Amino acid sequence: MNFYQQISANRRNSFLLALVIVALLCALGFSIGFAISGAPEGGIAATSIALVIGILMALGSYFAGDRLVLGVSGAREVSQAEAPQLYNVVRELTIAANIPMPRVYVINDTAPNAFATGRDPGHASIAITTGLLQKLSREELQGVIAHELSHVRNYDIRFTLIVGVMVGSIALLADFFLRFTFWGGAGRRSRDRDSGSGGLQLIFFVVAIVLAILAPIAASLVQLAVSRQREFLADASSVELTRNPVGLQGALAKIATDPEVLEVANRATQHLYFANPIKKFEQRSSGLFATHPPILERINRLRDLSGERPLSPQEARLLSGL
């Protein structure tokens, strides 16, 4: 595939996965509402309440989340005089992406990595570690910066926030129902059945219990899959901006084999970074619970764009440091 086809495929996959989360939320909400009230209107009301609560909780993150992430990461805003090469690279790629110039931050850490944050291109920031500036060539730096600016241009922060809201709503709704059941809800349903309220409500009650246990787990897995698809999308968009898959490919290879650990990263912010800053390469290369796609797969997709063969098993072993 060329990068246009990759971009279309990754966007399509992202929205399909988001629709799966919406379907889980609707199924769980309707089942719980029907199980408690015995009427379809109760299911609609339960779903609406969960959405409203999740959206209200997300508003704070939407407007202040970027400042929180930058503060937790120890990022310091720099001027063009302090980092002229970095500013030049960011500026030329914002022109290519047709987005405003973001605020530029540097993280004083020798591990090479970067992330972008902000609710839209007009309120965006990009943070780069000192290790990335020291260890990557200009061509590789362009690939990483283009990847992060693609997250901004593609509204990935907003998209993942919406997905996170829905996943949080599922968790809240499931937790409420399980607590309701534990503290006497089952007994009340039993008395309702004895009084002749019907077997349909009992069926929805059982379905609601099963969904309350499984839906949050399934939604979290889908959320991680969405995160991986958006990384593939940013990789393809980076090539669209730079017209050079080699630079991004080289950056991925260097970061994969770099032994440094990003001290400021944590599990709450790991999904924002260019490459997972916590797990080792071989652990990151597969798994449903990964926040990023396997680096080997990212590299091979980039090699396909430039007409190169995939890495051989021997080359992959060298890359993973095994």
Q: What are 107's strand-pairing partners?
A: 75, 129
Label residue 243 exposed, middle or buried (CB < 10 Å: 0-12, 13-18, 19+): exposed
Pairing between strand 124-129 and 103-107? Answer: parallel
What's the Cα-to-Cα distance from 265 to each of 114, 119, 133, 271, 278, rounded to whole Å?
A: 11, 21, 18, 10, 7
With a CB cutoff of 8 Å and minimum separation 6, the contacts of 128 are 86, 104, 105, 106, 107, 114, 144, 145
pLDDT score recorded for residue 264: 85
Q: Rounded CA gap, 65 and 73, in Å?
A: 12
The position carrying tokens 């030329």 is: 92
pLDDT score recorded for residue 185: 54
pLDDT score recorded for residue 1: 65
The position carrying tokens 């990263």 is: 265
* CA-wise closest residue to 90 among 68, 70, 75, 106: 106
The position carrying tokens 């495929």 is: 9
Among residues 41, 82, 140, 148, the one annotated as catalytic is 148
Query: Known catalytic residue: 148?
Result: yes
Q: For every one of its 322 residues, what pLDDT tens digit does the chain have, with 9 covering 90 and above?
A: 667 787 788 778 888 888 888 888 888 888 888 888 878 888 788 878 777 777 777 777 677 778 888 888 999 999 999 999 999 999 999 999 999 999 999 999 999 999 998 888 998 999 999 999 999 999 999 999 999 999 999 888 778 777 877 787 888 888 888 887 777 555 555 455 554 455 777 887 888 888 888 888 888 888 888 888 889 989 999 999 999 999 999 999 898 888 888 888 877 788 889 988 875 544 444 566 788 888 888 999 998 887 888 887 777 776 654 3
